[in-house]
Amino acid sequence: MYGIRKGALTALALVMLAGSLDAKGSIKGTVKYEGKVPKMKVIRMGADPICDAKHDSPARAEWFLAGPDGELKNVFVYVKEGLKGDYPAPSEAAVIDQNGCVYKPHVLGVQVGQPINILNSDGTLHNVHALPKKKGNDKFNEAMPGARKKITKKFNTPEIMVRIKCDVHPWMGARIGVVDHPFYAVTAEDGSYEIKGLPVGTYTIEVWHEKLPAKTATVTVKGDETVTSDFTLKRPPKKKK
């Protein structure tokens, strides 16, 4: 060390700092529900025999799916604050399908400006009715007869969340989280999520569920590491009359 010049040490320090800033980390965890899990009702599809025939067992509503220990599926997890820079929308389209007269997936994440391919795998009439609330996101309501297999849409403004429904089959519903960066995830059946590729920094992470109050946490990524952040959601207390 004594033989290294001061200038060389400075250059070495700058290289090490640049390497640290370029490091990418991950945030992962589990989202659980605390409380009695409501049982999802069977969806009565008798009005459209094509829908019913595509299910080996009765389809159930998906607005509240939790495992035996409260593991919550279909929770949208995303970086709400702390990011810097611009993140261009990917050219690869996100996909949501109408299959068995159910939207698959029930919760989807996309970037602003990213194409969304909306498919009709049923061979029956659907209409895709999008109900965004943010200025800059266009509402649309397009019929998709059985022969119309795909339409492509996009949203131009961040919005948590955009509601999608089908007026032909009133039980059909989905939610789309629109963000201006790629750092988001949707929890799996075991309640787990992972957000990869985050630069060094401190972030506010928010978890969103369509029937429960959202929750946030502050998470710091210091380098090439995986940080754990678990969440527990519960219903708000009932207001006293």
- Give which of 27, 34, 31, 28 is closest to 71, Cα–Cα: 31
Give me the amino acid identity at 53: A
Q: What is the pLDDT of residue 7?
A: 58
| Cα–Cα distance measured from residue 198 to residue 188, given in angstroms and rounded to the nearest whole number | 20
Q: What is the pLDDT of residue 23?
A: 75
What are the tokens at 184? Answer: 């988001």
| Cα–Cα distance measured from residue 43 to residue 22, given in angstroms and rounded to the nearest whole number | 49
Taking the CA atoms of residue 32, residue 38, residue 44 and residue 45 in that order, the dihedral angle to the nearest 10 degrees is -10
Q: What is the pLDDT of residue 15?
A: 39
Q: Look up residue 200 and give its DSSP letter.
A: S
* Domain annotation for the chain: domains and CATH numbers: 23-223 (2.60.40.420)
| Cα–Cα distance measured from residue 104 to residue 99, given in angstroms and rounded to the nearest whole number | 7
Q: How confident is the prediction along the chain (241 residues), in pLDDT tens digits per residue?
A: 445 565 554 544 443 444 445 679 999 999 999 999 888 999 888 767 888 888 888 888 899 999 999 999 999 999 999 999 999 999 999 999 999 999 999 999 999 999 999 999 998 999 999 999 999 999 999 999 989 999 999 999 999 999 999 999 999 999 999 999 999 999 999 999 999 999 999 999 999 999 999 999 999 999 999 999 999 999 877 766 6
Sequence-distant (≥ 6) Cβ neighbours of residue 144 within 8 angstroms: 98, 118, 120, 125, 126, 127, 128, 151
Sequence-distant (≥ 6) Cβ neighbours of residue 212 within 8 angstroms: 33, 233, 234, 235
Distances (CA, A) of 214 to 19, 140, 170, 205, 240: 35, 27, 26, 10, 22
What are the tokens at 171? Answer: 């039980």
Q: What is the pLDDT of residue 14?
A: 41
State the Cα angle at 166 between 77 and 72, rounded to 5°.
25
| Cα–Cα distance measured from residue 146 to residue 167, given in angstroms and rounded to the nearest whole number | 15
Q: What is the CA radius of gyration of the chain?
A: 22
